Chain A
């Protein structure tokens, strides 16, 4: 609507006016380059900052005069995201084309060598694939566990009953805990000597139960803790969907004598599908980044290493910054492909309806 509002005459390039953003950019660039080459970093940073502010101000004034409210509204968010997110991302993308270790302070352009090494090196490639497989496994297991548990919990709470409000908050609590505490306490719960699981089993057969004695146990332990922590998130989304189904649809269904299975698929499911997709999307993104629980529980032992943990190791512990960046971009690529697939499916479905 307002976008198509009066298009004013664009001011001449050399016209000194508060909304001449082109001139502002030119001046800003010139001053910035000058400052950057003349002053030390700490001083020139603020000069550059001032120039950015000037350019931004001119753009804002320009947008305001042209009644371009969309740009005005979006720009603060874009600015914050750019400075704190996108710019560092691009920076590390750039780094991934260099041989650079943060502890060494030397930098050498090597093009795609980091990537090709990761994908073809006979030591690194199998490791990458192993980690990728593990990550995929954890993603599938944790996300499906969360979806199932979250869904069942939601179904349970989708009724009105006394004390519901108080019971619901109990179930929501796990996701408010700090991962450190969860990791440390679950390693206690799983401990063969002190752990509650082992002790209950021991009371029954006299043997200590060693959960982390093999990969199955280790994976189960990690998946359980993660699913326990984040199922409430899924539950909340599904519950919101469930309570938004108009009651008269269920009434109509009961009068039409629709069976409960059919009722779920034709009435309930369409209402929660979008939210399930959303939960799936967010949980999958998070699951791909899973590292902290693994660090706390197994340290990657029993073949539970994930890509994200691997990135932390090489980028942080071993200071192979550029190799870590390259690895993360491979990971990002996988995640983007996956999420696009999700969004594609979700959009296609919604277009059908």
Chain B
């Protein structure tokens, strides 16, 4: 079975802790994205899975076998590198055929396999060219072709799309997803681009400072961020995170002092455990509705900057306390600079975080 399991792996470079106690399991056919800002340890984790780095502690289990001490070539994996790592002295066809030499296939068989993947990835035209003579997108596809030309235990992708332009990236996301869905292998993709993660992954593991903060489906990490970091990292425009005083909690209604306004809002029952204290409240910009007048559960803010985004408009508004709130309103709702808005958060999309930064949910 093609599975990957990472158990509490840790990587230290001297005193520097690159990855700490990361655990992750990837089922066959599942695509897991490692997502996080640069330097968070995601690539190191991937390289430990590949065997390019040795884990200081913890276990790497691929296809049910502990592989900590095996070199990459013994792990039977396929990997696509950030810079594609195309062998500059070989032409495209030879590049794709490279992993096949190990399997000692006949020339015909190997050509057949190469042609097959070349067709899937639209590379038939360029098989005879040198890597220096093909476009960036083709290079990327060659790298993928080289990975899928054989039948490995699992696939690893290191920032596979980071060097492509927006349009190519978009189409490649689809192509890779399609190719992967037909292979039913455990796949790990490292990326710093949340859109890529959200669209391609079955599950996303969000990392920061060497630790996995949350693992979940794209929906989960978006709708139920485990902590402040995940909440702020996932979603564009970024979630509004505001400090608030939790005054009281009654029958599912929390009354808080938020951005200079006293607001009553529906909240998860678990929030009651927090009171009374300072909390962090996170509200997605799209979770506001602008009311015509101030109400019990509205926040007053003055529009300062308007960024039209096509179908919607992003409004930066200033609260009484001077804080900044991002609000997305439909295009049809015209907001003028200086206009006072009364914003009503959607309680279902309001997240409470305790002082330790963790989300409070039942």
Contact = CB atoms under 8 A, between A and B. Distances in A.
A254 to B, nearest CB: 4
Interface in A248-281: 248-249, 251-259, 262, 266-267, 269-270
Interface string B68-85: 000111001111011101
Contact of A255 (B79, B82, B132): B79
A254 B72 contact: yes
Given A255-B79, A256-B146, A258-B98, 11 more contacts: A246-B85, A248-B85, A249-B85, A252-B81, A252-B85, A255-B72, A255-B73, A257-B101, A259-B102, A267-B87, A267-B89
A353 interface: yes
**In this complex, which of A248, A257, A267, A270 has the most chain B Cβ atoms within 10 angstroms of its Cβ?**
A257
Interface residues of B, number: 26
**In this complex, which of B50, B78, B98 has the most chain A Cβ atoms within 10 angstroms of its Cβ?**
B98
Interface of B: 50-52, 71-73, 76-79, 81-83, 85, 87-90, 94, 98-99, 101-102, 130, 132, 146
Interface of A is mostly: helix
Contacts of A255: 50, 52, 72-73, 77-79, 99
B87 A266 contact: yes
Nearest to A256: B99
A13 B107 CA distance: 73
A249 B79 CA distance: 12
A12 to B, nearest CB: 52
A257 B100 CA distance: 9
B102 A256 contact: yes
Contacts, number: 66
Interface of A: 246, 248-249, 251-259, 262, 266-267, 269-270, 353
**In this complex, which of A256, A267, A353 has the most chain B Cβ atoms within 10 angstroms of its Cβ?**
A256
Given A248-B83, A254-B71, A353-B130, A259 B101 contact: yes
A251 B130 contact: no
Contacts of A248: 81-83, 85
Contacts of B101: 257-259, 262
30 contacts: A246-B83, A248-B82, A248-B83, A248-B85, A249-B88, A251-B52, A251-B72, A251-B79, A251-B85, A252-B79, A252-B81, A253-B98, A254-B71, A254-B72, A254-B73, A255-B50, A255-B72, A255-B77, A255-B78, A255-B99, A256-B102, A256-B146, A257-B102, A258-B73, A259-B102, A266-B94, A266-B98, A267-B87, A270-B88, A353-B132
